Amino acid sequence: MLRRAAVALLVVVAALPAISEDVAVADATDPRPARPQISAPLAGRVVVVDPGHQLGNRHFPRRINRPVPAGGFTKPCNTTGTATDGGYPEATFVWQVSRLVATRLRGLGATVRLTRHSNRQDRWGPCVDVRGRAGNSIGADLKLSVHADGSYAAGARGFHVITPPDRAPWTADIHRPSRRLASSVKGGLLDHRFGVATYTAGGDGIDVRSDLATLNLSDVPTVMVELGNMRSAAEARVMTSPAGRARYARGLVSGVRRFLG
């Protein structure tokens, strides 16, 4: 045994110079830019993107209605979400936008975690408590929950960003940076020609709410963005077009970059 180990060690030692030379040669001749993540603006950053709902939620009423912890009270595990008048579901819209956001953030060097990994009729959840805690154990820099609204009020359109209040012991620790994240996301969407909500959030596009598990259970800065009103025919046209969804994604990424500096 000892002799075999000694032989193995000799082999390793003998191989070391060759390995080093190979690495050096590979670096010198590699046509790709060297280690792009070092110069990437979001290198080392961790972002959780939470696409609201799940396409199959309506098929699982018992599971979806189960009460879960929501920050001092309980809420149903999840809801079905809204849709355009033409039947394009919120779950699908926010899934598509969130995937674009994740791709762009990864391209900038960030590590991105999504809270769901499919958009399927035979899937449900996760529950809002799981979404709320999604950034905590991984020390995320922020968590962005992506939704769209469904208001039948006449002329209702525009986005709003929901941020948690100063409420101990739940969100007292995150309400300040979350408010700054809300302003950043608002700025990013405004920069990409989206308008603030005409029908809610006091007209400034930022709402403060204490009733959302997705915000209450987070220990990292978090906001929920309602990208627009899916029941508005004009906004539905933007949401159902690939170019419109790409513009939403650029607005959200711009907001994340503002926040992360």
Amino acid making up residue 190: L
Alpha helices in 40-140 (DSSP H): 61-65, 90-107, 128-133
CB atoms within 10 A of CB 116: 24
> Which secondary structure element, helix H or strand E, spans residue 18, and what is its range?
helix 2-29
Minimal CB distance residue for Zn ion? 147
Q: Which of residues 69-108 bind Zn ion (CB under 5 A)?
A: 81
CB atoms within 10 A of CB 210: 17
Of 100, 113, 169, nearest in space to 143 by CA: 113
Report if residue 228 touches Zn ion, rule: CB under 5 A. Answer: no
Report if residue 186 touches Zn ion, rule: CB under 5 A. Answer: no
Q: Least distance to Zn ion from the beta carbon of 109, Å?
A: 29
For Zn ion, the binding residue among 116, 131, 143, 147 (CB under 5 A) is 147
3-11, 108-116, 128-136, 145-153 -> range binding Zn ion (CB under 5 A): 145-153
Report if residue 52 touches Zn ion, rule: CB under 5 A. Answer: yes
Q: Is 226 noted as a catalytic residue in this protein?
A: yes
- DSSP letter at 89 equals B
Q: Least distance to Zn ion from the beta carbon of 41, Å?
A: 30
CA distance 237 to 230: 9
Amino acid making up residue 129: D
Q: Which residues are catalytic, by number? A: 226
Which residues are near Zn ion by CB under 5 A? Answer: 52, 81, 147
